[in-house]
Amino acid sequence: MKLVMVLALALSSSLALAQTAPKKSTTKLPAKPAPAASTPAVTPAPANTTVANGESGTMKILKEKLQIRYFGEFLGPSIRKWEDNQIDTDGHGGAGKGRAVRQETPINLFNQFSFRWKVGEKTRAFWDARFTTQFGDRNEVGDGEDQQVIVQEDQRIGLNYGYWTSADKVWSTSFLPRVRLPTSEASQDSNIVLQPDILHVTSFQATPALNISLFNAVRYYWYEQKVDSERYRIYTSPSVTYVFNDTFELFVSYEHELSHRDPEGKSNFFLLRETLQDIYAGVNINITPSLTVFPFLRLAQLQRLEWDDQQDTAQVGAWIIGNIF
């Protein structure tokens, strides 16, 4: 009962945070810019004065240039055993072969506030302020890891460039060069200098109700010279969104990740191992024009598809997506 109350309070605080904002895209796609609001005609005015409609020049620029978006991901326990810690699976070549393993990581809420500034007709520079709030039992968190309730994550900066859209608006593509800064305790302890990555998004609007998207990303880990490690990841995620009405949308995505991590020169640089394979499935609920909640079921490993095994490893959670400005 204590855990349920904590989760309710956590979700309520996140919902209240985004309650007063404009509409947010309900998929993982970079949010589409909101339609430009019509501006009343005004007479010329000296700089730094108020325009005819009472709105300052500074506020007008902010509305044209600035976006503030919120994304939260709550990750809970398995559907079979409701407890304070998350469930992981040893499904990538380990001895467990997809069996459930209780993590030391508590259930938590990942938070990201994205500040985006328009620098071109189709380009925005952004800063993602990122941190995690831990709600579950932190007694098992290791001494060398962040044991705080609020955990600083790696901050991220980059550009979002929508470089091509078909004439009929059916196809669109975006290119996002990004850099993760080593602001988390985990990155600092690992002697990581930077984590540059590139994300490419392809979107196909098959019908007014059906969208199919593909996310591809490459992420490289740049270590200090004293660390003998070469590491990178290749991430792929197709997703499908089907709109039932203004309130409900079905969303399903598949994630797959290949990683290389070895001492420098020990193995072929292009040797990759599978490190992630899962499915997110749920329904987007558009609570207000500015707030969407996506409760989901996450199948954390796909090597054991029998329902009895999946109940141990399937994880419940929710996304919270909102526009703040």
- d(CA 144, CA 134) in angstroms, rounded, equals 16
What pLDDT sits at residue 248?
Answer: 97
**Dihedral sign from CA coordinates of 123, 24, 17, 6:** negative
Structure tokens belonging to residue 11: 């979700």
- pLDDT tens sequence across 139-149: 666 655 667 78
Q: State the virtual CA torsion across 218, 96, 263, 177 in degrees, nearest 10.
A: 10
- d(CA 176, CA 274) in angstroms, rounded, equals 24
- pLDDT tens sequence across 280-320: 999 999 999 999 999 999 987 676 667 776 777 788 899 99
Of 126, 118, 116, 121, residue with least CA distance to 155: 126
What pLDDT sits at residue 99?
Answer: 60
Q: Which has the higher per-residue pLDDT, 100 or 155?
A: 155
What pLDDT sits at residue 22?
Answer: 36
Which residues contact residue 230 at a Cβ distance below 8 angstroms, ignoring those fewer than 6 apart? 260, 261, 262, 263, 264, 269
Question: What would the mean pLDDT of 25-54 be, rounded to a whole number?
Answer: 41
- d(CA 257, CA 274) in angstroms, rounded, equals 6
Question: Does position 202 have pLDDT exceeding 80, yes or no?
Answer: yes
Question: What would the mean pLDDT of 120-137 be, rounded to a whole number?
Answer: 91
- d(CA 256, CA 240) in angstroms, rounded, equals 15
- pLDDT tens sequence across 65-97: 999 999 999 988 878 777 777 776 654 444 455
- d(CA 219, CA 257) in angstroms, rounded, equals 11
- pLDDT tens sequence across 220-261: 999 999 999 999 999 999 999 999 999 999 999 999 999 999
